[in-house]
Amino acid sequence: MGADAEIHVFDYQRYRTEVVPALVDLLRTGEPGPFLIAFFRDTAASHRMDFTARWPRMAAHLRTPPTDLARHCTWLGPDLRHRPEPWLGTPRADQRHDLVCPSRTCPERGHCLLHGDRAGAENVNILFEALVTACCLDRPQFVGRTQDPLDYWPLLDAWRVPAGDPLRRLLAALADRGAVLGYGFGVTEGVHGWLTEAETADLAHRLTALPLPRYEPTYEAMRDLHYVSMSRAAQARTAAPPPGPSWLEVSLSFVRTVAVIAAAENRAVLWGNDVGHDHWIDHFLD
């Protein structure tokens, strides 16, 4: 059991210009628009499914009571991030019970999926993950099992990184920014959070200043270090392992390296656990 945690290179600009408008329009009109129809058609075709016959069933899952997030919602930011943010040091919220919009004055309260019974929002959560994964993510790097960025707090404490340091806020954003639409309905699955391009460059700079493992900023170097780390863990089961960095140090160095790579391309980063754009097929067609 558990989920693979990964840090991805993230096309934040495409996310803002294509994915966010498609989701906001879906909730505003209550019907899937051209972008979503094309997405379903293309991905269904890639799985050799009959889109024409299945589309009415898919569309029925997506129909929602019209909700104008852009006009009324104060719980989500313009890029659909969870606000206020971040929850520094707060454990992951439960999607079914904790992530309910607290507004008592929102005019959309009577029918918005983010109020009341959160079970009705699962279709939108799965669609959010599908669109982000298919349209905006590149080159995932494994960083642990059933892990999130708040797991690095003991390292930061040991290195005396202050509680209010910007580095903690950046990592907390990777843990929580995606909470409302990105968290799955399991234990740790889903899109946990993302950064903008400027924040990613700042994260890369701040992590580079820490005493983390040093190597060339490439995926090949991370693969080699991962292999060495697994070998050390295997040795530790039967004997004292050779000296070397802990897994948390290795994992955080992977976050640094992907941030360095993304920043060099003027891209961003996103943290997700077991994210994938194919999940919607089983969900909407089972």
Per-residue pLDDT tens listing for the chain (286 residues) = 678 999 999 999 999 999 999 999 988 888 889 999 999 888 888 878 788 877 887 787 778 778 888 888 888 899 999 886 655 555 566 555 567 777 888 888 887 878 765 556 788 888 899 999 999 999 999 999 989 999 999 999 999 999 989 999 999 999 999 988 888 776 678 999 999 999 999 999 999 999 999 999 999 999 999 999 888 776 666 667 677 899 999 999 999 999 999 999 999 999 999 997 666 677 766 5
Rounded Cα distance between 94 and 56, Å, is 31
Half-sphere exposure in the Cβ direction for 198 (13 Å, CA): 1
Q: pTM value?
A: 0.90
Peptide bond into 86 cis (omega under 30): yes
Token look-up 């993302």 returns: 194
Q: Detail the DSSP E strand segments found in 161-256.
A: 190-194
Encoding tokens for residue 189?
A: 């699955």
Helix (H), strand (E) at residue 45: helix 34-46
Q: Are 95 and 119 in contact (CB under 8 A)?
A: no
From 240, 223, 241, select the one nearest 231 (Cα to Cα).
241
Half-sphere exposure in the Cβ direction for 258 (13 Å, CA): 25
Query: Which letter does DSSP use for residue 242 in this model?
Result: P
Q: Are 193 and 173 in contact (CB under 8 A)?
A: yes
Count of beta carbons in the 10 Å neighbourhood of residue 106: 17
